[in-house]
């Protein structure tokens, strides 16, 4: 009777095979995680820059057309954006609400019904909590119904506006933005991706310069 030798895997061979397979799978998963995080970071950066561009362009165009009024800590009162008197040169004011002569800019958050409501000085810190969606909004001076300048991919944590009245009126905008806590964005990415914007915008100067030059020419004649 002829018997055939049967070959079996030894325990050592099985352990080696499982180890190699595990290393390969871990490497593949690591590459996938790094690739996904890079993609998410790119999407976050793109969303941040698009929102910042929209904010700066919108406020800049408004200032060009309507000038700079003042800042405030409330939009409920009728005199919330009273302009700085011309005699108070070189003075400045810092608050979280900014006004041109036609519009109001501030942070707003949605209520339970999905309507945007401007935050107050007492609850604006809620926008710094992860999971809270806050928007930079623009409203007509007389209507005060806010419309968002930022989209749902970004939340505005802080906003400060500094208006100076040193010969040429200008406003310094300081914003702190963060990705919104969405299902596809991990909390670690939200926490570490904080974007700080600071820029200064001024009213048109050529009218002021022309007026000054005309006065100088008149005095020489």
**Mean of the pLDDT values across residues 46-72?**
91
pLDDT exceeds cutoff 80 at 219: no
Reported as a single tens digit per residue, the pLDDT across 8-31 is: 667 777 888 888 888 888 888 877
7 pLDDT band, cuts 50/70/90, is low
- Pick the more confident residue, 125 or 34: 125
Residue carrying the six token digits 């049967």: 6
pLDDT (average), residues 204-210: 57
Query: CA 59 to CA 52: how far, in whole Å?
Result: 11
Q: With pLDDT > 90 as the criterion, what percentage of the chain qualifies?
A: 29
- The predicted model gives 105-124 an average pLDDT of 88
| Predicted local confidence at residue 78, as pLDDT | 46
| 64-78 average pLDDT score | 78
Q: Is the pLDDT of residue 181 over 70?
A: yes
Which has more confidence, 40 or 151?
151
Residue 218 has pLDDT above 80, yes or no: no
pLDDT for residue 93: 75
- Mean pLDDT score across all residues of the chain: 80
Strand partners, 107: 136
Which whole number is the average pLDDT over 107-112? 88
- Average pLDDT for 72-87: 59
Q: Answer yes or no: is pLDDT of 107 > 80.
A: yes
| Whether the Cβ atoms of residue 72 and residue 95 lie closer than 8 Å to each other | yes
- What are the backbone angles phi and psi of residue 159, rounded to the nearest 5°? -145, 130
CA 122-97-53 angle, 5° bins: 120
pLDDT mean over 42-56: 89
Q: What is the pLDDT of residue 22?
A: 87
């Amino acid at each position: 009777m002829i018997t055939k030798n049967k070959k079996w895997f030894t325990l050592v061979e099985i352990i080696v095979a499982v180890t190699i397979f595990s290393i390969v799978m871990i490497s593949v998963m690591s590459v996938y995680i790094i690739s996904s995080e890079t993609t998410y970071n790119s999407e976050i950066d793109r969303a941040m820059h698009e929102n910042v561009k929209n904010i700066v362009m919108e406020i800049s165009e408004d200032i060009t057309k309507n000038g700079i009024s003042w800042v405030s800590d409330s939009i409920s009162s009728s005199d919330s954006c009273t302009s700085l008197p011309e005699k108070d040169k070189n003075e400045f004011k810092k608050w979280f609400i900014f006004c041109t002569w036609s519009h109001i800019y501030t942070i707003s958050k949605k209520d339970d019904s999905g309507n945007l409501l401007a935050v107050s000085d007492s609850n604006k810190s809620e926008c710094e909590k992860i999971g809270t969606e806050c928007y930079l909004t623009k409203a007509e001076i007389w209507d005060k119904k806010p419309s968002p300048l930022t989209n749902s991919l970004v939340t505005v944590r802080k906003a400060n506006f500094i208006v100076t009245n040193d010969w040429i009126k200008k406003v310094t905008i300081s914003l702190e933005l963060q990705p919104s806590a969405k299902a596809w964005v991990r909390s670690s990415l939200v926490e570490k991706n904080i974007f700080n914007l600071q820029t200064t915008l001024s009213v048109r100067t050529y009218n002021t310069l022309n007026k000054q030059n005309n006065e100088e020419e008149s005095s020489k004649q």
